[in-house]
């Protein structure tokens, strides 16, 4: 496998990462802007990209904003808001056709695309020197609808509640879309000041993958991303080390037909930890794949669960077990899941479990090379966590993980929280 390597520089306090390649027929562009998760800023930060998508100083009406994307041969534009550890991150994404397939373009599509992104982020539509009130009102409702809809997806709701219980005294409890109770108080003037502070002090990373050069992208950014920034800002990722005397148990009731059992565990192995590859293997054997212990023993053999899986959060040092069960099977399901955790602690790992997990995980990692957006996401992890990993090195590390190393990880994973969502009529 040919390794990929981004070329890097910095301009206007923005880290620039460019992967020159002729493999793809499009340009993939991502801009990451981060902020520490904090009660006072989580809701304002969440709503800002929704307002920015409504218009710019050049295209102040939303219809004109969208028509401009059509003029760029249907360029794609979107954004995501998520958390990584105790960081809230907004990722703006664009993709457009490679200039090689469009004939002579003056200016180039890449230049036009980066100009559009730069204008969207740094030159929003304003009225009286602040955000447009009708856009703010509409997007306040958008955010409110998104937060209120979480309860309608019971799998997601149970995972969210388990995490909130587990991290009740930690900013990690906040949803990256903000807090419902803060939405009504958002005002155009104060929010605009929050936005300006965000641009000045947030870590920023701009990625471009495609048929270009670092020099070309740098010149465009100098011109199109005019931001008052005096320095670069970094992220902070730390595993949570907690003393657990007794796991917290929380049972809640809603109108559900199926119980949702979630178990939150501390797994103090973040992405930059040398033991992280073994933690990935541990999670794969526990509940990451169809051959895993949770799937085989809880769902297949005992027929207790409609689904049973685990997910490792390498940014927070947390592992979440999720399962859907009949309400009367709660205690038995907890017992069998606990047995699988103990089996891994005692080293009950077969050669087949280890080899299957490595094979499936390796295939997933190899697929990163087939997608420019996956390449960007993988490389951004190295910026976010400070880990010096490549796809090739991760593959090598995974394939060298032993049963003993996996068992050592298991012995450092501790149950912190049990959360059960059951029917209001359930006993």
Domain assignments of the chain as residue spans, ordered by start: 7-224, 248-423
Q: In what order do the strands lie in the sheet with 259-266?
A: 248-254, 414-423, 259-266, 318-325, 305-313
Structure confidence by residue, pLDDT tens digits, 143-165: 999 999 999 999 999 999 999 99
Instruction: Establish whether domains 7-224 and 248-423 are of one fold.
Output: yes
Q: Note whether 225 and 11 are within 8 A (CB).
A: yes
Has residue 302 got a pLDDT over 80? Answer: no
DSSP, collapsed to helix, strand or coil, labels residue 27 as: strand
* 240 has a pLDDT exceeding 80: no
Length of the chain: 427
Q: What is the mean pLDDT of the chain?
A: 93
CA dihedral sign, ordered 80, 207, 32, 238: positive
Per-residue pLDDT band at 238 (split at 50, 70, 90): confident
CATH (residue range 248-423): 3.30.830.10
Residue 141's region, left for phi above 0, alpha for psi from -120 to 50, else beta, is alpha
Query: What is the topology classification, in CATH, of domain 7-224?
Result: Cytochrome Bc1 Complex; Chain A, domain 1 (3.30.830)
pLDDT value at position 80? 98
pLDDT of residue 306: 87
The pLDDT assigned to 329 comes to 93
CA atoms within 13 A on the CB side of 396: 8
For residue range 97-126, what is the model confidence (pLDDT) as tens digits? 987 877 666 688 999 999 999 999 999 999
**Which range has the worst mean pLDDT, 2-6, 286-290, 321-325?**
2-6
The pLDDT, as a whole number, for residue 418 is 98
- What count of Cα atoms within 13 Å lies in the side-chain half-sphere of residue 368? 22
4 falls in which pLDDT band (50, 70, 90)?
A: confident
């Amino acid at each position: 496998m040919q390794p990929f390597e981004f070329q890097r520089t910095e301009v206007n306090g923005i880290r620039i990462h460019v992967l020159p390649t002729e493999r793809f027929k499009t340009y993939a562009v991502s801009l990451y802007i981060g902020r520490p998760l904090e009660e006072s800023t989580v809701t304002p930060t969440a709503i800002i990209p929704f307002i920015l998508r409504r218009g710019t100083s050049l295209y102040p009406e939303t219809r004109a904003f969208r028509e401009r994307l059509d003029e760029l041969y249907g360029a794609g534009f979107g954004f995501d808001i998520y958390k990584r550890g105790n960081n809230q991150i907004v990722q703006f994404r664009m993709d457009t056709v490679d200039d090689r397939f469009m004939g002579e373009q003056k200016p180039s599509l890449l230049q036009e695309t980066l100009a559009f992104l730069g204008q969207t982020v740094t030159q929003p539509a304003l009225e009286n020197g602040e955000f447009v009130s009708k856009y703010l009102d509409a997007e306040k409702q958008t955010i409110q609808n998104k937060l209120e809809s979480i309860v309608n997806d019971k799998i997601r709701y149970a995972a969210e509640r388990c995490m909130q219980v587990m991290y009740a005294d930690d900013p990690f409890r906040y949803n990256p879309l903000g807090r419902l109770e803060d939405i009504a108080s958002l005002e155009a003037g104060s929010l605009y000041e929050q936005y300006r502070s965000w641009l000045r002090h947030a870590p920023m990373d701009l990625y471009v993958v495609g048929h270009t050069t670092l020099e070309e992208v740098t010149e465009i950014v100098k011109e199109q991303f005019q931001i008052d920034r005096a320095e670069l800002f970094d992220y902070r990722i730390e595993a949570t080390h907690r003393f657990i005397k007794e796991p917290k148990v929380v049972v809640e009731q809603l109108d559900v037909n199926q119980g949702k059992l979630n178990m939150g565990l501390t797994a103090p192995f973040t992405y930059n930890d040398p033991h992280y590859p073994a933690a990935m293997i541990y999670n794969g054997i526990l509940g990451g794949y169809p051959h895993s212990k949770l799937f085989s023993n809880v769902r297949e053999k005992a027929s207790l669960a409609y689904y049973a899986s685990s997910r490792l959060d390498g940014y927070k040092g947390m592992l979440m077990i999720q399962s859907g069960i009949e309400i009367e099977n709660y205690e038995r399901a907890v017992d069998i899941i606990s047995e699988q955790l103990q089996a891994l602690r005692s080293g009950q790992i077969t050669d087949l479990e280890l080899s299957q997990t490595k094979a499936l995980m390796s295939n997933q990692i190899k697929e990163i090379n087939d997608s420019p957006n996956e390449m960007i996401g993988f490389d951004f992890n190295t910026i976010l966590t400070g880990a010096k990993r490549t796809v090739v090195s991760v593959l090598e590390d995974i394939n060298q993980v032993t049963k003993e190393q996996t068992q050592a990880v298991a012995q450092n994973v501790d149950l912190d929280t049990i959360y059960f969502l059951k029917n209001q009529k359930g006993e």
